[in-house]
Amino acid sequence: MALIVQKFGGTSVGTVERISQVAEKIKGFKAQGHDLVIVVSAMSGETNRLIDLARQMQATPDPRELDMVLSTGEQVTIGLLAMALKSRGVPAVSYTGSQVRILTDRAFNKARIQHIDDANIRADLDAGKVVIVAGFQGVDEQGNITTLGRGGSDTTGVALAAALKADECQIYTDVDGVYTTDPRVVESARRLDKITFEEMLEMASLGSKVLQIRSVEFAGKYNVPLRVLHSFKEGPGTLITLEDGASMEQPVISGIAFNRDEAKLTIRGVPDIPGVAFRILGPVSAANIEVDMIVQNVAQDNTTDFTFTVHRNDMRKALDILGQVAGDIGAREVAGDDKIAKVSIVGVGMRSHAGVASKMFEALSRDGINIQMISTSEIKISVVIDEKYLELAVRSLHSAFELDAVNQPEDHI
């Protein structure tokens, strides 16, 4: 008998029928004698609908009130799932984040979990109940409702598993595991049996939204056994594990991630003197704009070009700031481009293999795809390219690194 935390995502609880199917599945697990804590998302599309309602009320919704609205999505599903279980004779009880007391900081819309009270949950488990917890939400010290950022139910699941020292955290979704790349984009993508925390963290950070970044961070930090599985199809899914030094068969590249959420800003004719990078990026970070890739060219005639990327939603704001900065430091011009995409190859196998970057660049050049920016770390290489070549680039890298499946993946829900 094990203690298992299971999280079901939005599509898996998207209709009354699906919630009933989930209840049947839980009933089956319960019959095997497991202690179960279930985390659910809002029904698919619901969080978007709530955001839209809020925006109709206030162009930039008040962060506290937005969380008040958003948290209702998950509150509906926990209640419905509890009813579905009770109607099947399975004892169950539902709790919102604040009822459990999933304590977070005060960062509305992107709060971080600080502590979870496990007393009530344990008492209910001891009483034989299935405990259902609303994903994506918590409460701060003052009792304000907070939410954890898009995809945050994954983090609720992993954090609960860590707090309860669960035997496994299972993330049920609409694909049967983590794939070499998004199977919606590349048909020949292949399910991975295993992926390391480190690789999964890179994949998530670089755009693979199958797991929220923080959930992977949490799982790595507390060593929570984490598995991604299909909600309605049997299968082993993908296990996220510690690096396995013994496995010699480690492929060079485990996966390809991509992201269309960024925009590129360039400031040209920047005087090449100490302190300039700070004078450009200081005001950008003071405006709370996160900067991702940064490239500064070698100076010619004592001036240089400086390019960096930010989230697409921040491009306008960043351009305004740069316009100001350009005047102050005597730069020639500023330009913004939001028709870009970032493609990254990820793999711990890169550490022990040479020539990975050149293989990547060769594959892109064969398809005539121009690389605008490059950044690397120990286990990933990212390039910025024209957005219109994104899918082509992902496909061509997928086959260049021999990731293609022999058999096509099965259909998703």
Interface residues with ligand ADP (CB under 6 A)? 9-12, 41, 151, 173-175, 178-179, 181-184, 208-210, 255, 412
209 is in an annotated binding site: yes
**The one among 41, 96, 196, 231 contacting ligand ASP by CB under 6 A:** 41
| Residue 42 near ligand ASP by CB under 6 A | yes
Q: How far apart are the first and last CA of the chain?
A: 30
Quote the least distance from Cβ 125 to Mg ion, whole Å.
Answer: 25
Tokens read off for 251:
């492929």
Type of residue at 181: T
210 is in an annotated binding site: yes
179 is in an annotated binding site: yes
155 is in an annotated binding site: no
The residue among 34 and 150 lying less far from ligand ASP, judged by its C-beta, is: 150
406 is in an annotated binding site: no
Quote the least distance from Cβ 39 to ligand ASP, whole Å.
Answer: 9
9 is in an annotated binding site: yes
Query: Which stretch in 40-48, 188-196, 218-226, 363-371 sits in contact with ligand ASP by CB under 6 A?
Result: 40-48
| Residue 10 near ligand ASP by CB under 6 A | yes
Instruction: Give the neighbor-by-neighbor strand order of the sheet with 262-271.
Output: 291-296, 303-311, 262-271, 333-337
Q: Is 89 left (phi over 0), alpha (psi -120 to 50) or beta?
A: left
Q: Which of residues 154-173 bind ligand ASP (CB under 6 A)?
A: 154
Can you tell me the distance from the alpha carbon of 37 to that of 6, in angstroms, rounded to the nearest whole number? 6
Q: Which of residues 318-347 bind ligand ASP (CB under 6 A)?
A: none
The residue among 159 and 318 lying less far from ligand ADP, judged by its C-beta, is: 159
Can you tell me the distance from the alpha carbon of 195 to that of 256, in angstroms, rounded to the nearest whole number? 13
Query: Which stretch in 125-133, 148-156, 173-181, 225-233 sits in contact with ligand ASP by CB under 6 A?
Result: 148-156
Q: Binding residues for Mg ion, how many (CB under 5 A)?
A: 2
* Distance from the Cα of residue 262 to its chain's centroid: 15
The residue among 9 and 61 lying less far from ligand ADP, judged by its C-beta, is: 9
Is-contact 305 258, C-beta < 8 A? no
Quote the least distance from Cβ 135 to ligand ASP, whole Å.
Answer: 5
Is-contact 151 211, C-beta < 8 A? yes
Q: How far is CA 274 from CA 52, 152, 198, 316, 355, in A?
A: 46, 41, 35, 27, 34
Cα angle: 87, vertex 93, 94; to 5 degrees:
110
| Residue 153 near ligand ASP by CB under 6 A | yes
**Residue 73 neighbours by CB under 8 Å, 6+ apart:** 41, 42, 43, 46, 47, 50, 136
Can you tell me the distance from the alpha carbon of 116 to that of 138, in angstroms, rounded to the nearest whole number? 9
The residue among 14 and 220 lying less far from ligand ASP, judged by its C-beta, is: 14
Can you tell me the distance from the alpha carbon of 16 to that of 277, in angstroms, rounded to the nearest whole number? 54
Query: Which stretch in 144-152, 340-348, 365-373, 375-383 sits in contact with Mg ion by CB under 5 A?
Result: 144-152
**Residue 8 neighbours by CB under 8 Å, 6+ apart:** 22, 38, 39, 40, 41, 172, 173, 231
147 is in an annotated binding site: no
Quote the least distance from Cβ 45 to ligand ADP, whole Å.
Answer: 10
The residue among 311 and 317 lying less far from ligand ASP, judged by its C-beta, is: 311
Tokens read off for 372:
């605008």
| Residue 151 near Mg ion by CB under 5 A | yes
Give the interface with Mg ion as residue ranges (CB under 5 A): 9, 151
Interface residue list for ligand ASP (CB under 6 A)? 9-10, 41-42, 47, 73, 135-136, 150-154
